[in-house]
Chains A and B, each alone.
Chain A
Amino acid sequence: MSLTDRVLGDRQRLAYIASQAADVRLNVELETEGMTLNIGPQHPATHGTLRIIARLDGEQVVWAEPSCGYMHRGYEKLAEVRTYPQVTTLVNRIDWLGSFANEVPFILAAEKLMEVEAPPRAQHIRTILFELSRIANVSLFLGDLGVQMGAITPVFFAFRDREYVLNLIEGATGGRFHPNFDRIGGLKDDLPKGWIAETKAVMKKLRTFCDQIEDLLFGNEIFQSRTRGIGVIPKDIALQFGLSGANLRASGVDWDLRRDHPLPMAWNKADWKVWTHPDGDSFARCWVRLQETREATKIVDQLLDTIPSGPIMAKVPKIIKVPEGEAWVSTENPLGEMGYYVVSRGELGPFRVKIRSASFNNISVAPWALRGVYVPDIITILASLYFILGDIDR
């Protein structure tokens, strides 16, 4: 009789044998030439809780797949049992770094079905707040980018300067993260006193921030060698995967919904430029975002000077019923094209809302883009594709 038989009872013996067997299996697994690496869901390098399962051959990725669903909240189902004004509270939380921008396309879709249009002043302020959300969102991306590559300094700059923008959003709407400020037919409130002058000062700071980031990161040799030529996504791949926003423009597609799709917003009242990059690599995606932040500060500056006077709400009934029909509205959100397909049956709430979020498409290219790259590049490629977990899972 062996030692284990004498000392352990039946159940314990079985557990012991099972653990031995598990060890053997593990060893066999390690001895094969491939290896499966789990990144996340709690890895510091993953935003939110995206989990990547990567099959490796040595240092190279054979295939990789993001595993979603850790944050699925079922907004499409919830929207079916809410009234139209209540839906903005939900959609606020999709891309939580640029919340206001999530509300706008839904409200525009409802307005389109109701055939009302917000007064010019409301359109103007909406556009300003939309661009402020973009600046808050993308400035954090620019800082975070450094952390992914081991540079700690930029993220402190980013958090410092993003706070100024969040203060502005809070000043105007009352909420730092979830403004819930957009209403069907206009806005909840007008701008507070002194806000315009303060915003202009902050925009100047943000432009300085962009310059600092450009000096710190984009000119850095390590940054360049880790992003240039890495994770190249050609134009046709980007299009058929439905990449949008800066990811698409970094692949050389000159398309910006703000410029190319007429909406009742004020972007065409400002003079700004759509930046593209021909390379399609990680560097291009980061660079385009940096330029977009600069352009956004310019848009805000110009729009602040030309806010028209007038009401901030159109005449809408107190109880909102949206006429029967279907409408699609998408806007160029910080992460890319975000749109809502709203089906109405003439009731208090929508019959069906399809939420097209940018990150879902942007990250669906990951299995394609990660094939054959080296392990450290997984992190930089995902960082440059830029996703928000809530925007993938909705």
Chain B
Amino acid sequence: MNTTSSTQPRVTSVEEVKAALGDRLVDSLQKDDLWLRVRTDAWKSSMRTLRDTLDFHYFCFLSAIDWMPSPFGRGEDDPTEPAPERDATIRQGYAGGGTRMQVFVRVTNPVTHVSVIVKADVPDDSLTIESIHDVYAGANWHERETHEMFGIAFDGHPDLRNMYLPLDFEGFPLRKDFPLLARMVKPWPGIVDVEPLPGGDDDEGGDEQ
């Protein structure tokens, strides 16, 4: 039985991280995972400390979140009607924040299997943050992906070419204000339940074949 390791804690203590990061740590939240937020200008040095002092050697992923609610909602508006009023206030998630865009990264200690999720604000005006590709080599591709999807520049990255999109593609697809064109052209039929449940009264969908 593999029961021995399941008793190990998955979360390292906040105090330990606080001691290592000092005033670079802005906010933290401990639930079943540990969320940290570090100062933007200390992004790279914090990651380096986490790697070297607390042995978070395994790089899991890096990405970004656009906290602005989508002006298009869930893409279910009737195109013939004027768009409904929507709440556009930007609200950040766990460990807080002050900007529309945040980058976040997850790293793990491969011996104790403890992980942390580290976030950092990306300044709204410059949309630039330090690259951590020389701390975690795996961040190279993740930063390229984040750059093309969110338009966040990574200072010091050797090669921010597009990975997926054509080189002359305009816009940043994962930003909330980038419309999903398929939904703009044709409203999503998912508002009404198009597939009747088996055994239901309106079981017409199955007769077509």
Residues of A whose CB lies within 8 Å of any CB of B are 68-69, 72, 74, 76-78, 80-83, 86, 112, 236-237, 239-242, 253, 255, 259-262, 267-269, 271-272, 325-326, 328, 330, 337, 339, 341, 343, 345, 347-349, 352, 354, 356, 360-361, 364-365, 368, 393
Contacts and interface: CB of A to CB of B under 8 A. Distances in A.
Nearest to A347: B74
A369 to B, nearest CB: 12
Given A260-B5, A339-B60, A354-B63, A240 B137 contact: yes
Contact of B106 (A236, A253, A328, A347): A328
Contacts of A82: 190
Given A81-B183, A328-B106, A368-B137, A393 B164 contact: yes
Given A81-B183, A268-B2, A239 B110 contact: yes
Contacts of B33: 328
B63 A242 contact: no
B70 A253 contact: no
Interface residues of B, number: 48
B65 A68 contact: no
Contacts of B59: 239-242, 361
Contacts of A325: 93-94
A59 to B, nearest CB: 26
Interface in B88-124: 93-94, 104, 106, 110, 113, 117
B20 interface: no
B6 interface: yes
Interface in B154-177: 162-165, 173-174
Contacts of B70: 80
A183 B35 CA distance: 28
Contacts of A271: 1-2
Contact of A326 (B93, B141, B142, B149): B93
B140 A364 contact: yes
B65 to A, nearest CB: 5
A360 B104 CA distance: 17
B74 A81 contact: yes
Contacts of B174: 76-77
Q: Which 7 A-B pairs have the closest CB atoms?
A: A69-B164, A241-B138, A242-B138, A72-B164, A262-B6, A242-B59, A364-B141
Interface in B5-60: 5-6, 8, 10, 32-33, 35, 57-60
B91 to A, nearest CB: 8
B151 interface: no
A240 B58 CA distance: 5
A155 B106 CA distance: 38
A112 B142 CA distance: 26
B65 A352 contact: yes
Contacts of A347: 74
B173 A326 contact: no
A237 to B, nearest CB: 7
A242 B51 CA distance: 13
Nearest to B188: A81
Given A69-B163, A267-B2, 8 more contacts: A76-B174, A242-B58, A325-B94, A326-B94, A337-B60, A341-B61, A343-B93, A354-B63
Contacts of A348: 74
Given A242-B61, A253-B110, A268-B6, A77 B164 contact: no
26 contacts: A76-B149, A77-B174, A77-B178, A78-B180, A80-B74, A81-B75, A81-B183, A83-B190, A239-B59, A240-B57, A240-B138, A241-B138, A242-B60, A242-B138, A261-B10, A268-B3, A272-B2, A328-B106, A337-B60, A349-B74, A354-B61, A354-B65, A356-B106, A361-B59, A361-B141, A368-B137
Contacts of B163: 68-69
